[in-house]
Amino acid sequence: MQLTGNLLIGQQSVAGSNGTIHAVNASTGAAIEPAFGGATLADLDSACALAWAAFDSYRETSPEVRAKFLETIAQNILDIGDDLVERCMVESGLPRGRLEGERGRTVGQLRMFADVVRNGDYIGARIDPAQPERKPLPRVDLRLRHIGVGPVAVFGASNFPLAFSVAGGDTASALAAGCPVIVKAHSAHPGTSELVGRAVQKAVKDCGLPEGTFSLLFDSGRDIGQGLVKDHRIKAAGFTGSRGGGTALMKLAAGRPEPIPVYAEMSSINPVLLFPGALGNRTEGIAKAFVQSLVLGAGQFCTNPGLVLAVDSPDLDRFIEAASSALKETAAQTMLTPGIHKAYEAAVEKAGSHADVKTAARGAEARDDHQAQSALFATTAEAFRNNQQLQEEIFGASALVVRCPDLASMLELIESMEGQLTAALHIDDSDHAEARRFLPALERRAGRILVNGFGTGIEVGHAMVHGGPFPSTADGRSTSVGSLAIERFLRPVSYQDLPDALLPDALKAGNPLGLNRRINGKVQLAE
Q: Which of 3, 90, 117, 147 binds a second copy (CB under 8 A)?
A: 147
For the annotated catalytic residues, the residue numbers are: 265, 302
Binding residues for a second copy restricted to 171-200, rule: CB under 8 A: none
Q: Which stretch binds a second copy (CB under 8 A): 155-163, 168-176, 373-381, 442-450?
A: 442-450
Contact code string over 45-84 relative to a second copy, x by CB under 8 A: ----------xx---x------------------------
Binding residues for a second copy restricted to 261-300, rule: CB under 8 A: 261
**Bridge partners, residue 139, by sequence:** 131
As a three-state string, the secondary structure of 198-236 is HHHHHHHHHCCCCHHHEEEECCCCCHHHHHHHHCCCCCE
Q: Which of 284/475 has CB closer to a second copy? A: 475
Contact code string over 490-509 relative to a second copy, x by CB under 8 A: xxxxxxxxxx-xx-------
- List the Cα angle 230/490/187 in 5-degree steps: 45
Q: Which of 74, 114, 149, 381 binds a second copy (CB under 8 A)?
A: 149
Q: Which of 132, 137, 355, 510 binds a second copy (CB under 8 A)?
A: 137
Q: Which stretch binds a second copy (CB under 8 A): 18-26, 284-292, 402-410, 514-522?
A: 514-522
- The nearest distance, CB 50 to a second copy, in angstroms, is 16
- Report whether 191 contacts 162 (CB < 8 A): no
Closest alpha carbon to 395 in 366, 375, 365:
375
Q: Which of 29, 259, 512, 514 binds a second copy (CB under 8 A)?
A: 259
Q: Which of 348/490 has CB closer to a second copy? A: 490
Closest alpha carbon to 379 in 342, 347, 353, 341:
353
- The nearest distance, CB 119 to a second copy, in angstroms, is 7
Q: Does 520 bind a second copy (CB under 8 A)?
A: yes
- The nearest distance, CB 508 to a second copy, in angstroms, is 14
| b/e 349-384 (16+ beta carbons within 10 angstroms → b) | eebeebeebeebbbbeebeeebbbbbbbbbbbbebb
Q: Does 95 bind a second copy (CB under 8 A)?
A: no
Q: Which of 452, 505, 508, 511 binds a second copy (CB under 8 A)?
A: 452
- The nearest distance, CB 7 to a second copy, in angstroms, is 27
Q: Which of 405/457 has CB closer to a second copy? A: 457
Total residues at interface with a second copy (CB under 8 A): 81
Q: Does 244 bind a second copy (CB under 8 A)?
A: no
- The nearest distance, CB 405 to a second copy, in angstroms, is 24
- The nearest distance, CB 457 to a second copy, in angstroms, is 8
Contact code string over 391-430 relative to a second copy, x by CB under 8 A: ---------------------------xx-----------
Give the distance from CA 76 to its chain's centroid.
22
DSSP state of 178: T
Q: Which of 435, 486, 506, 513 binds a second copy (CB under 8 A)?
A: 435
- The nearest distance, CB 91 to a second copy, in angstroms, is 25
Closest alpha carbon to 521 in 96, 125, 66, 9:
125
| b/e 108-134 (16+ beta carbons within 10 angstroms → b) | ebbbbbbebbbbbebbbbbbbeeeeee
DSSP state of 452: S
- The nearest distance, CB 208 to a second copy, in angstroms, is 19
Q: Which of 95/495 has CB closer to a second copy? A: 495
Q: Do strands 517-519 and 126-128 pair parallel, antiparallel, or not at all (unpaired)?
A: parallel
Q: How many CA atoms lie within 13 A of 363 on its CB side?
A: 24
Q: Which of 29, 221, 244, 457 binds a second copy (CB under 8 A)?
A: 457
Burial of 226: CB neighbours in 10 Å, binned 0-12, 13-18, 19+: middle
Q: CA–CA separation, 486 vs 152, rounded Å?
A: 12
Q: CA–CA separation, 167 vs 156, rounded Å?
A: 9
Q: Does 150 bind a second copy (CB under 8 A)?
A: yes
Q: Which of 8, 127, 279, 332 binds a second copy (CB under 8 A)?
A: 127
- List the Cα angle 24/25/28 in 5-degree steps: 120
